[in-house]
Structure 1
Amino acid sequence: MTGNTSRLVYRVPQPGDAQRLLCIYGDPRTQLFNPAGPMADLGEAERLLERWIEHWARYQYGTWAISSSDAPEQILGFGGIAHHHYLAEQRINLGYRFAVEAWGKGYATQLGQDALQHAFVQLGLPEVFGLVRPDHAASIRVLEKIGMQLFAQLDDVPGQAPSLVYRGRQGKPG
């Protein structure tokens, strides 16, 4: 799905999005719960965009560049569903990251609902997972609000509490 919902506009990321990606992913506030920390430089942003674009070419879905319908030229964040390897297998993972100025407006919830709708209805995928740090209360609320349920824990950060794995399934909760 690329296109619009009532509030958000989704499109496939492009190489020209690298600077905006770095602004969002390089901000320590948006990376507070990411053990890897903020993105370091433009080269890292370009490499991540390249992986996202390759994912789109291979699967015909992936991480979107997201903007509001009021200002479609201004990227607010990046998110969607994409393959991610954890819990010993390849999973379809819901992920997102929004610029600080986009926080508190319900965009993450809207994206989550739209991404699940796309996964289940358009793509016919049976389940989608979300990986979240246990102290990231806002993202946990989003996952629960869109109907995902706690599925497992993943001991992925040495010396810290395990991440939480949420699951949404087509036609039924959790």
Structure 2
Amino acid sequence: MRHIQTERLLLRAISAGDAEALYAIFGDPETNRYNPHGPHSSIEHARMALAGWTEEWKRHGFGRWSVACREEPGRIIGFGGLSYGDYGGQDRLNLGYRFAPSAWGKGLASEMARQALQCAFEALAAPAVFAKVRPANLPSIRVLLRSGFSHHGSLRDIPAAPASLVYISRAPAK
């Protein structure tokens, strides 16, 4: 799960060298339009996030990927993958992603999400994967629906913000 190729993407485990790309994407106000926490404030914030994500890989053997197009393997266009997330006091396998605006509208987030689900259900034998999304983030909701998720409820996870919508994708029946 550390290095995967899809039809159009290269997915690889994040590394410390990804800090500038992470800051470029997570520090961009446009990619944080629906994020109540706002963009990363500094390159140091990006480095701290990467350190935490690296620990997830060490602890669980999976985590977020750096995402590049196969035709441009040296240019990171996004980050995404699986991690554990807090769902009202319960740790659940969570799908998350964020892509640079130049990658939007091409189905790349959906392609990455489908690969993450395949890893969750086949390699990890997970019964389900969850995702949280802000109610106004219609593009992200479309990614989840195209990737096989269905609406599962809502969660008050950020004080003074509307409840997040919770989506779920269940493992296929065997």
For normalisation by structure 2, the TM-score amounts to: 0.96
Which residue of structure 2 aligns with residue 49 of structure 1? 50
Task: Give deviations 1:93-140, integer Å, cap 9, x for gaps.
Answer: 000000111111111110111100110012111110000000100111
Q: What's the counterpart of residue 41 of structure 2?
A: 40
Match of 1:67 in 2: 68
Tell me the SS of whatever aligns to 1:29.
helix
CA distance, structure 2, for counterparts of residue 131 and residue 27 of structure 1: 20
Aligned to 1:85: 86
Structure 2, unaligned stretches of length 5 or more?
none
Aligned length: 172
Residue 159 of structure 1, CA deviation: 3.2
TM-score norm. by structure 1 comes to 0.96
Q: What is the CA–CA distance in structure 1 between the aligned matches of 2:158 and 2:7, rounded to whole Å? A: 38
- 1:158 equivalent to 2:154? Answer no
Please tell me the root mean square deviation across aligned C-alpha atoms, in Å.
Answer: 1.0
Structure 2: distance between partners of 1:95 and 1:15: 19
Q: Is residue 121 from structure 1 mapped to residue 122 from structure 2 by the alignment? A: yes
The equivalent residue for 2:10 is 9
Q: Does the residue aligned with 2:55 lie in a helix, a strand or coil?
A: helix
Deviation at 1:157, TM superposition (A): 2.9
Percent of aligned positions that are identical: 42
Matched position secondary structure for 1:147: coil
Alpha-carbon distance between aligned partners in 1 of 2:51 and 2:161, rounded to the nearest angstrom:
31
